[in-house]
């Protein structure tokens, strides 16, 4: 892991106000956890699948990086708008203001394999497996983690990670 990514995660850790227990609650309700995304302190695999919805305010997404060997491109699927690639850490893109509860869908293109995976339930993906999970930390920051391998890979959902602001999560069925 490069030193700038470690520094970034340390800053996020300090800003968001971290709790002590990272296994106490495993649904998307303000998990009190050490917000170190890399190093697997956050276990995305235990979280429920969520739909990302607008709150009627400005929406932005920040690319945090990856913990996978593949390269990725993230798109805002609603507008087929490129956000960043997995090398562009700390890149923040303002997406605009959307209607309250409008579903926002993100797509991760895996450049090494040509596969594309989506937020939302399993039926959105070519292998009919969930490839993105989200969580809310105790101060309301929403993180989005993707699994980048067809058929689910190791199902850790930390292959490519993002911070999404101006949104809320709604649990959905897989």
Global confidence as pTM: 0.76
Q: Judge whether residue 165 has pLDDT over 60.
A: yes
Band the pLDDT of 81: cuts 50, 70, 90.
very high
pLDDT tens, position by position, 3-20: 444 444 433 433 333 333
Instruction: Give the start-to-end residue ranges of the domains of the chain.
Output: 3-171
Residue 101 has pLDDT above 80, yes or no: yes
Q: What is the mean pLDDT of the chain?
A: 78
d(CA 107, CA 114) in angstroms, rounded, equals 12
Would you state the structure tokens that stand for residue 87, as one six-digit string?
């090398």
CA distances from 40 to 67, 104, 115 (A): 10, 26, 24
Most confident of 2-16, 34-48, 111-125: 111-125
103 compared with 19, residue with greater pLDDT: 103
DSSP string, 20-50: S-SSS--SSS-B-----TTTT-S-GGGSPPE
| Secondary element (H or E) of residue 7 | helix 3-16
Measuring CA to CA, how many Å separate 167 from each of 20, 77, 81, 119, 128?
25, 15, 18, 14, 25
Secondary structure (3-state) at 61: strand
Residues in Cβ contact with 56 at an 8 Å cutoff, skipping those fewer than 6 apart: 97, 98, 99, 100
pLDDT of residue 174: 59
Residue 76 belongs to what H/E stretch?
A: strand 72-76
CA 52 to chain centre: 10
């Amino acid at each position: 892991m490069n030193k700038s990514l470690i520094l970034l995660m340390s800053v996020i850790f300090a800003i968001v106000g971290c709790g002590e227990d990272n296994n106490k609650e495993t649904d998307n309700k303000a998990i009190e956890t050490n917000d170190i995304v890399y190093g697997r302190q956050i276990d995305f695999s235990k979280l429920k699948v969520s739909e990302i919805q607008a709150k009627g305010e400005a929406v932005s997404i920040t690319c945090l990086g990856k913990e996978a060997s593949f390269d990725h491109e993230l798109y805002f699927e609603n507008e087929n708008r490129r956000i960043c690639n997995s090398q562009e850490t700390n890149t923040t893109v303002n997406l605009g203001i959307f209607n309250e509860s409008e579903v926002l869908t993100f797509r991760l293109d895996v450049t090494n394999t040509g596969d594309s995976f989506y937020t939302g339930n399993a039926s959105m993906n070519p292998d009919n497996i969930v490839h993105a999970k989200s969580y809310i930390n105790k101060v309301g920051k929403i993180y989005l983690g993707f699994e980048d391998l067809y058929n689910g890979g190791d199902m850790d959902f930390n292959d490519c990670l993002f911070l999404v602001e101006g949104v809320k999560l709604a649990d959905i069925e897989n």
